[in-house]
Amino acid sequence: MKAHKNSKRTLIASLVIGAVACCGSAAFGQSMSDVQKVAKARGLSTADLMAAAKTFTPSGQKDEYIMFSSGGHSGQVFVIGVPSMRMLRSIAVFTPEPWQGWGYGVGEEILAEGYVDGKENLWGDTHHPALSETAGDYDGEWLFINDKINARIAVIDLRDFETKQIIKNPLTVSDHGGTFVTPNTEYVIEGGQYAVPWGFEYAPISEYKEKYKGSVTFWKFDRKKGRVDKTRSFAMELPPYWQDLSDAGKLVSDGFLFMNSINTELAVGGIQDKKPPFEAGVSKNATDYLHIIDWKKAERVFKAGKVEMIEDFPVITLATAIEEDLLHLTPEPRSPHGVDVAPKGDFIVISGKLDPHTTIYSFEKIKRAIASRDYSSHDEFGVPVLNFDSVVEAQVEVGLGPLHTQFGPDGYAYTSLFLDSAVARWTLGGSYGKGTPEPDWTLVHKTPVHYNVGHIGVAEGDTVSPDGKYLIAFNKWSVDRFFPPGPLLPQNFQLIDITESGTKMPVIYDMPIGVGEPHYAQIIKADKLNPWTVYPEIGWDPHTQSLDPQAPKAKMERVERKGDTVEVYMTAIRSHFNPEHITVKQGDKVVWRITNIERSIDATHGFAVPQYNINLSLEPGETAKVEFIADMPGTFPFYCSEFCSALHLEMVGYFMVEPK
């Protein structure tokens, strides 16, 4: 395998021979020279051929891993196979999405859960997906994701990959440090971001220090119900810093939450008045604060009722948090961004965007410092600040603009370098020491990526037992990597092979993402997922995940009028709707129930009604109910919007609205 270190444009015949032999391509009548010819014509190096061999996935072969990527401004989640980097589907979450019918007949009530005082917000800025965990390992049951712009979180059921719940944070306007889960998914964590007065109140920025608040919310997840239980959830007030990312402790640090912050300067901006802009004010200090939160203790304080109700939501005030020893701070270097807990829970890695080092804190030392009240100071709100030198284990110089860290199974850590446009591999020490050929706490290698990498994701990388194998760099800029589809360019997901140790860490695939700006993704072993391919029974309501007793059934199709309400009971099967004629009077309320009575995998039907803004996706077995007022008179051919069969174009009916 020495060959693929060589220059890009040389073909090494021995590798090509090897590739042909092991692929058995000769059986298709192709010879080594055919492969060589194609490679030469396309200008492919041996490294390119090797990358293709590692990622090419023949038709019918499935991926070893499934990646759940945030969809950025699309407000969706993307499901992508690894290593093929083929997109399998999007999951509509915070934004209406017509293919899935989300917001076009179904999902409206769930989307409305995210409104504030009934005011619509129909897009989301998704950042951090979190898979549910059992004992610190992904269990493949649930997925959570946050919406940064409107401080919302969503719950997705991984039986059908559909959004079941959206919950709006009652206290804060925007969020960022979420979603992250505790090791048994007891809580879904949502950290705030930009400090604001609680509950959408107005307060002039001159009252920033007194009226603006930081926060973290612990959403209790009820696995049986598959919903966040707001009545068992609580929040904790934090100083009005801008809390950024967070990560839950695990194993030895289970019960703790680590959260970093920027703007401990309490800068308020004001460039228009010739005051320092936020970007300068927020990064003035040499350090900000890592927040160390004892959430298990906080849970006890919440259960003991030591909370204040704010916006009808229980909040542990900052005073109580200090009094009960729930919150400690410790300095973290310049403009911290990522905070990541190592697989054994013993180290916490912080990156400062303006510091070339990663800083590694020891949980053991943090515990000791808390117990012995080893404080260097208190912040101006009275929160104890642990002595930096007492809690730091090591610092590793990795390069410029370090952001986020992930872990391999072998004692390697990986950090994204935004300014360097690279992914650094470095060695952990302590309990991971000697896991690598290189000395502890040293930079081993940097692989260039294209360009401006944000997060990175390693297969099973946030668990107590990372798989390694693949690392994906989620690059913000693609610049010259692809054909430019106008001035708005796609992001670039780059797949990196991390199976070998040392300096071998080649990029083996580029995947453009031309929908939103995804930030983060988690990557789970495909065999941990157990999705349905058809709904369990005909007449299944995906919202309740149970049989709907009202679902239309075969031979029971009908139209019933009850006063001004017309109820339609319709079925869909290749290639007709039944009934096909629906006549109502202008102004009638229409309750249209429809069941896809198919049992075959992939036999999805659509149901689209012109002018009425309706489109459903009815997967095999699914039932749905659409309600609307027939306020527009006319003749409306409704049709199936999924090409389901040879007679798909004939899968149609007429909806006729008689004028008043």
Residue 36 DSSP symbol: H
Alpha helix ranges (H) inside 487-569: none
CB-nearer residue toward ligand CUA: 39 or 640: 640
245 binds, among ligand CUK, ligand CUA, none (CB under 5 to 8 A by kind): ligand CUK
Nearest-angstrom CA–CA distance, 498 and 457: 12
Rule CB under 6 A: say whether 334 interacts with ligand CUK.
no
Nearer to ligand CUA, 532 or 638 (CB): 638
Among 128, 642, 653, 655, which residue sits at the site for ligand CUA (rule: CB under 6 A)? 642
Whole-number Å distance between alpha carbons of 90 and 521: 13
**Options 156, 570, 651, 657; binder of ligand CUA; rule CB under 6 A:** 651
Considering the rule CB under 6 A, would residue 189 count as an interface residue with ligand CUK? no
Task: Among 406, 644, 653, 657, indicate the residue that binds ligand CUA (CB under 6 A).
Answer: 644
Q: Which is nearer to ligand CUA, 528 or 648 (CB)?
A: 648
Site string for ligand CUA, 587-616 (x = CB under 6 A): ------------------x-----------
Distance CA 395, CA 442 (A): 9
Is 127 one of the binding residues for ligand CUK (CB under 6 A)? yes
How many residues belong to the site for ligand CUA (CB under 6 A)?
8
- Measured from the CB of residue 88, what is the shortest distance to ligand CUA in angstroms? 21
Binding flag, residue 446, ligand CUK (CB under 6 A): no
Question: Choosing among ligand CUK, ligand CUA, none, which partner's interface includes residue 357 (Cβ < 5 to 8 Å by kind)?
Answer: none
Find all residues with CB under 8 Å of 444, minimum gap 6, and list them: 412, 425, 426, 427, 436, 438, 502, 503
Query: Are 321 and 327 contacting, i.e. CB atoms less than 8 angstroms apart?
Result: yes
Contact with ligand CUK (CB under 6 A): which of 192, 249, 454, 606?
454
Q: Which does 282 bind (CB under 5 to 8 A by kind): ligand CUK, ligand CUA, none?
A: none
Of 71 and 454, CB closest to ligand CUK: 454
DSSP conformational letter for 285 = S
CA–CA dist 329, 343 (Å, integer): 22
Secondary element (H or E) of residue 45: none
619 part of the interface to ligand CUA, by CB under 6 A: no
Q: Would strands 313-316 and 227-238 be described as parallel, antiparallel, or unpaired? A: parallel
**In the complex with ligand CUA, which residue's Cβ is closer, 591 or 652?**
652
- Does residue 227 sit in helix, strand or coil? strand
- Within 233-272, the residues that bind ligand CUK by CB under 6 A are 245
**In the complex, least distance from residue 611 CB atom to ligand CUA, rounded to whole angstroms:** 20
**Least distance to ligand CUK from the beta carbon of 517, Å?**
8
Site for ligand CUA in 77-106 (CB under 6 A): none
Q: What is the 3-state secondary structure (H, E, C) of 434-448?
A: CCCCCCCCCEEEEEE
Q: Under the criterion CB under 6 A, does residue 520 sit at the interface with ligand CUK?
A: yes
d(CA 95, CA 102): 8
Beta-sheet strands, E only, within 263-411: 287-294, 308-310, 313-316, 327-333, 336-341, 347-352, 357-362, 375-378, 384-386, 392-397, 402-407
